Amino acid sequence: MSLPVGEANHSAAVDRLRASYAALPAGSAVRLAKTTSNLFRPRATSGPGLDVSGLAGVVSVDPVARTADVQGMCTYGDLVDVTLPHGLVPLVVPQLRTITLGGAVAGLGIESTSLWHGLPHESVLEMDVFTGAGEVVTCRPGDELFDAFPNSYGSLGYATRLRIELAAVPPYVGLRHQRFSSPGLLAAAVSRIAAQGTWKGEPVDAVDGVAFSPTELYLTLARWTDEPGPTSDYTGERIFYRSLQERATDRLTTHDYLWRWDTDWFWCSGAFGLDDPRVRRLWPRRWRRSDVYHRLVGLDRRFGVVDRLDARAGRPARERVIQDVEVPVARLAEFLTWFDAEVGMRPVWLCPLRLRRTPEQPTGRAWPAYPLEPGTTYVNAGFWGTVPVGPDAADGPVNRAIEDQVLELDGHKSLYSEAYYDRETFDRLYGGEHLAGVKRRHDPDGRLTALYDKAVRRR
């Protein structure tokens, strides 16, 4: 069992953060001094950054109140290592273990419990934010800074501590892989589950899915259980996403369910040959992780290895299409039909979500920088790969078309990867005017890069 770092160590780490800010040249841009990221767009890396080296742990856990105080750079993998021995986990655990809590709140996260619990920021009770003015501001739901922070991607500051709600979980998760023959039938099932909380008479505690083709789609329906029994292991030779097509039911430990997608980065490990049993046997298990694959992709983007090989072989240039979008469930079939015809990338991850409902907010509450409609069920569609385009690949024609289609379907797109919106459209979609006002109050000298500059201008 991992141990919390404690209040004294946390205070010392915040003091080091303040000192690193004070050491920056007056008026210089402020950024984090971190070497890892789950972003898929270029980041500015020039000049010194803020020292966040001591802000990567859990401060404390209260098993009775079911809360935890967590540092902003703490990964969900490390967080779960501390909470799970208490039989507790965050309400939403993003699917890759190296995603940080601060990153999931500032940049949005999602997983199979999002139909019931919304997005990670919706279970944050209190948050300390280190602003562009060099101040630590404690804020809570309803405060201007707190409400604007989700989807701000560091443009308003960085979370140093977050107090979050935890949920009790049993040791095991039972799975049912329900196949559908069309996007429309799957969308209807999502709407039914969202309304009833059950499928064929059994409770659904979590749900996500995969579209393998226009006529082969699956929802994986999860149910928490105390019942002991044999469990599957997808950290070795077997690959989780393939199991959806191979068996109707399955059973995992809760720990392995949380990280079922991490071993193969969903199915993206196939780009490195890991779907070949011969390669898989030679690839050390400790390197079968999403962060390892992400670093390899980063090296390729830095040196253009694949692009050079394609050019040498006379193949058309490929456009990287790495996106997650949310569309209303009523428009999901329309989006997938368009996607099949215009993009043709498979598989596609599907994850239903809804803004979190509470007794105080029975349909959920809107968040200004990512204004999903309260009371509406959405489905996240995630697709990650490349598409042969030709000489126009650098201009992002496929990504631009996806943006237009999602906008037409009243959806939203996450900003962790390339974005091409014009300024007016971007501000309308992501609360730009409101965000700018909050930024002026907490970063009056503009030392933090603005959201549009980060997401679209890639500064």
- Residues 215, 329, single domain; the answer is no
Lowest mean pLDDT among 22-31, 143-152, 331-340: 22-31
- Residues 48, 153, single domain; the answer is yes
Q: What is the CA radius of gyration of the chain?
A: 22
Q: What is the rounded average pLDDT of the residues 121-138? A: 97
User: Of 147, 37, 150, 144, whose CA–CA distance to 92 is shortest?
Assistant: 150
Would you state the pLDDT for residue 360?
85
Give domain status of residue 275, yes or no.
Answer: no
- Residues 236, 316, single domain; the answer is no
Q: What is the rounded average pLDDT of the residues 60-86? A: 97
Q: What is the mean pLDDT of the chain?
A: 93
Q: Is the pLDDT of residue 66 over 60?
A: yes
Q: Is the pLDDT of residue 41 over 60?
A: no
Enumerate residues 6+ apart whose C-beta is below 8 A from 400. 420
Q: Read off the pLDDT band of 264 (50, 70, 90).
A: very high
Give domain status of residue 333, yes or no.
Answer: yes
Q: Read off the pLDDT band of 116 (50, 70, 90).
A: very high
Would you state the pLDDT for residue 40?
61
- Residues 62, 116, single domain; the answer is yes
Greatest Cα-to-Cα distance within the chain, rounded to the nearest angstrom: 63
- Residues 245, 110, single domain; the answer is no
Q: Read off the pLDDT band of 252 (50, 70, 90).
A: very high
Lowest mean pLDDT among 115-119, 357-361, 438-442: 357-361
Q: Is the pLDDT of residue 444 over 90?
A: yes
DSSP one-letter code for 85:
G
Q: Is the pLDDT of residue 47 over 70?
A: no
Cα 41 from Cα 103, distance rounded (Å): 15
Cβ count within 10 A of residue 239? 18
Q: Is the pLDDT of residue 245 over 70?
A: yes
Give domain status of residue 380, yes or no.
Answer: yes
Domain limit, last residue, from 260, 295, 318: 260
The dihedral formed by the CA atoms of 226, 286, 261 and 121, expressed in degrees to the nearest 10: 80
Adjacent-strand bridge partners of 203: 198
- Residues 147, 225, single domain; the answer is no
* Residue carrying the six token digits 């767009």: 41
- Residues 161, 176, single domain; the answer is no
Would you state the pLDDT for residue 36?
64
- Residues 16, 151, single domain; the answer is yes
Q: 140-150: per-residue pLDDT in tens?
A: 999 999 999 99
Is residue 118 classed as helix, strand or coil in its secondary structure?
coil
* Residue carrying the six token digits 């309304």: 195
Cα 190 from Cα 193, distance rounded (Å): 5
State residue 166 phi and psi, 5-degree precision: -120, 155
- Residues 12, 96, single domain; the answer is yes
Give domain status of residue 371, yes or no.
Answer: yes
Enumerate residues 6+ apart whose C-beta is below 8 A from 43. 31, 37
Enumerate residues 6+ apart whose C-beta is below 8 A from 27. 445, 447
State residue 83 phi and psi, 5-degree precision: -85, -35
Percent of the chain residues past pLDDT 70, beyond the cut: 96
Chain-centroid distance, C-alpha 144: 23
Give domain status of residue 288, yes or no.
Answer: no
Q: 404-443: per-residue pLDDT in tens?
A: 999 999 999 999 999 999 999 999 999 999 999 999 999 9
User: Of 360, 356, 412, whose CA–CA distance to 381 is shortest?
Assistant: 412
Lowest mean pLDDT among 24-33, 78-87, 399-408, 430-439: 24-33
Q: Is the pLDDT of residue 42 over 80?
A: no
Q: Is the pLDDT of residue 310 over 80?
A: no
- Residues 18, 143, single domain; the answer is yes
The tally of domains found in the chain comes to: 3
Question: Using N-to-C axis directions, what is the helix angle for 332-342 and 183-196, rounded to 10°?
Answer: 150
What CATH number is given to the structural domain containing 385? 3.30.70.2520
Give domain status of residue 64, yes or no.
Answer: yes
What CATH number is given to the structural domain containing 53? 3.30.465.10
Provide the token pair at 305.
Answer: 């290895």
Kindly report the length of the chain.
459
Would you state the pLDDT for residue 436?
96
- Residues 22, 109, single domain; the answer is yes
Give domain status of residue 164, yes or no.
Answer: yes
Q: What is the rounded average pLDDT of the residues 121-139? A: 97
Cα 309 from Cα 447, distance rounded (Å): 40
Enumerate residues 6+ apart whose C-beta is below 8 A from 309. none
Cα 322 from Cα 382, distance rounded (Å): 8
- Residues 331, 251, single domain; the answer is no
Would you state the pLDDT for residue 279?
94
Enumerate residues 6+ apart whose C-beta is below 8 A from 393. 316, 317, 318, 319
Give domain status of residue 284, yes or no.
Answer: no
Runs of H (alpha helix) within 171-304: 183-196, 240-246, 254-258, 277-282, 290-303
Domain limits for position 376: 304-420
